[in-house]
Copies of this chain bind each other. A is one copy, B any other.
Amino acid sequence: MSPINKFSGRMIATVVSNKRVGQYHQILLNVGEMVNNCKPGNFVAIKVGGENAKMILRRAFAISRVSLTGPYGGSMELIVAPFGQGSKWLCSQDEGSEIDLIAPLGTAFGIPTQPVRALLVGGGYGSAPLFGLAEVLKNRGCRVDMYLGASTGGKIYAPMEGKRSVNVLRIYTEDGSMGERGRVTEPIPTLIADGLVDVIYSCGPMPMLRAISEIVAGSDVVHQCAVEESMACGVGICMTCVLPVADADGNVSMRRSCIDGPVMDGANVAWDLVGKVPEVFP
């Protein structure tokens, strides 16, 4: 049996706090022992809208960080953009509200056994899982640089505490309202050319992930990216969340991003086929 989702379960968690941070909500949930099974890259599937909701599908959110020790026991942090009805509902839940969730789901970022030079690239709320990851990498002796990008400063999520685990933190905004003006992907080619990075971990919009994959192509840099496709079930039973992914022989098939992802090897994703299907079956 596939080990995926082996440790996942459903629970009712209580909202410990809900704070606005820029254009996002930082939501802390009391989840108890569950945190022991959560790894950076995993996500949570949340039931939205309350008891009588017309919304029938769960919403996926990356687990930003977990903490075992805290005033409330094990807790999990999410960074949520109020986007549509479901995420807006979640952002409106006050302290003490109960949240129906299933976690931890999906693959996690691979952690190198050797200390490597890691570059973490986040777009928008995509930075959420990177701070937890940075901590793990730091503890393994890695050098951790983090580059965050967004269209505007309000969409950069970079909490104070998170910066501790990071050697360098650079911020890019397209409108120049925070950090440097430009795209977060722009400085990467030089870094690679200068041999300053071994592994790139990325999380953010699909075009950003694709751009990074194209930049590292041909180099020795490994690229682990957390993808985002529309998900109906989040647990592997509906086949809605597929992406074209190549196997070792280069044969492309449609893989479920909820159980074969969200963390995937960027080199294996057939980015040009996303939103299409391979012409013929291998």
Contact = CB atoms under 8 A, between A and B. Distances in A.
**A interface, by DSSP: helix, strand, loop or mixed?**
loop
Copies of chain A in the complex: 2
Contacts of A48: 52
Contact of A55 (B49, B52, B55, B89): B52
A103 B49 CA distance: 28
A51 B48 CA distance: 12
Contacts of A53: 52-54
A86 to B, nearest CB: 8
A167 interface: no
Contacts of A51: 89
A106 B53 CA distance: 30
A207 to B, nearest CB: 30
A50 interface: yes
A52 to B, nearest CB: 4
A177 interface: no
Contacts of A219: none
A23 to B, nearest CB: 21
A85 interface: yes
A49 B52 CA distance: 6
Contacts of A55: 52
Contacts of A49: 52
Nearest to A53: B52
A32 to B, nearest CB: 26
A128 to B, nearest CB: 24
A54 B56 CA distance: 10
A89 B55 CA distance: 17
A55 B55 CA distance: 12
Interface in A70-109: 85, 89
A42 to B, nearest CB: 27
A49 B49 CA distance: 10
Contacts of A89: 51-52
A52 B92 CA distance: 13
13 contacts: A48-B52, A49-B52, A50-B50, A50-B52, A51-B89, A52-B53, A52-B54, A52-B55, A52-B85, A52-B89, A53-B53, A53-B54, A54-B54
Interface of A: 48-55, 85, 89
Given A48-B52, A53-B53, 11 more contacts: A49-B52, A50-B50, A50-B52, A51-B89, A52-B53, A52-B54, A52-B55, A52-B85, A52-B89, A53-B54, A54-B54
List the 10 closest pairs (A to B, CB-CB), nearest first: A54-B54, A49-B52, A52-B53, A52-B85, A52-B54, A52-B55, A52-B89, A53-B54, A50-B50, A53-B53
